[in-house]
Structure 1
Amino acid sequence: MACRTAFIIAISTALLAAPSARAQGAGEPTGVWQTQAGDARVKVSKCGGGICGVIVGLKDPIDPSTGKPQVDDKNPNPALKKRPMIGLPLFSGMQPVAPNKWSGQIYNADDGGTYASSVSVTGTDTLKVEGCVGALCGSENWTRVGR
């Protein structure tokens, strides 16, 4: 009788816990995320079996020195220096490597460099974005602002 009661309690607990995990959307990276500094919003979507990230908003969309929309002027490729920041792809080759984690490359528009990167969903509304240059790595947490 004690075994049967323990079994029923274990099953009931599992069934009650399962819907809350789904309701929170745990592990789902898709949506619109604001960078830690608050200077950009990035839309993350599924693509090619992995994820893509594209800038969809900027805190300062207009370049004060030109009065025109911000462009990718730090890019080392002269052909890309005039592309608009809004719509700029940030992630490339981001493929799943573990539950709630993707690895690939990230483009840094602040210096025009592309770096090894990983992205992890660490909470319902938190995305940890890491980038590395050789052995030197850094990370920041992005906050979900839309689905």
Structure 2
Amino acid sequence: MTKRLLALAALCIATPIMAAPPVDGRWITAEKDAVITIADCGRTVCGRITKFLVPPPQGAEQRDVNNRNPELRGRKLLGMPVLSGFTEEEDLWRGEIYDPKTGKTYRSVIRRINATTLEVKGCVGPFCETQTWKRAR
């Protein structure tokens, strides 16, 4: 009986706790129009637009004209956070994603599939849309 308990205890100690793979780095959006840099933002993880691959209509000076909050419409898209408040939860990260094309914010889940692929979900109620982002070189 003692040997069984010791074996069970050793198995429990040896079993790794599920942890979300880190998502930090530079990622190209599914539309291949921007690079989002994901990094620590204090107690959470966030992602900012750090490069346009396809210039927006007003170029690098493009403002957040579609934002529902009139006070935020003057901020530049370049450098603006689009992923915010992400915290680790088992094998994924939960937070919010902002879509500057629609001016809407959605609940979001991100998960690193492998070293070069990030799965990004934006959800409204039970409905989610999933995108695949690729690591920028």
Partner of residue 143, structure 1:
134
Distance (whole Å) between structure 2 residues aligned to residue 62 and residue 106 of structure 1: 19
Moved over 6 A (4+): none
Structure 1's unaligned 5+ residue stretches are 1-25
Q: Which amino acid aligns with 1:78?
A: P
**Aligned match for 2:77, one of 75, 81, 85:** 85
Q: Alpha-carbon deviations, 1:41-69, whole Å to 9, x = none?
A: 100002233311000011233525xx662
If the length of structure 2 is used for normalisation, what is the TM-score?
0.79
Q: Alpha-carbon deviations, 1:79-131, whole Å to 9, x = none?
A: 111211101101221100113x1001111111111110011011101111001
**Aligned match for 1:132, one of 123, 126, 129:** 123
**Aligned match for 2:94, one of 98, 103, 112:** 103
Partner of residue 27, structure 1:
21
If the length of structure 1 is used for normalisation, what is the TM-score?
0.74
Q: In the alignment, is the contact (CA less than 8 A) between 1:115 and 1:131 conserved in 2?
A: yes
Q: How many residues align?
A: 118
**Residue 40 in structure 1 maps to residue 34 in structure 2:** yes
Q: State the Cα RMSD in Å.
A: 1.8
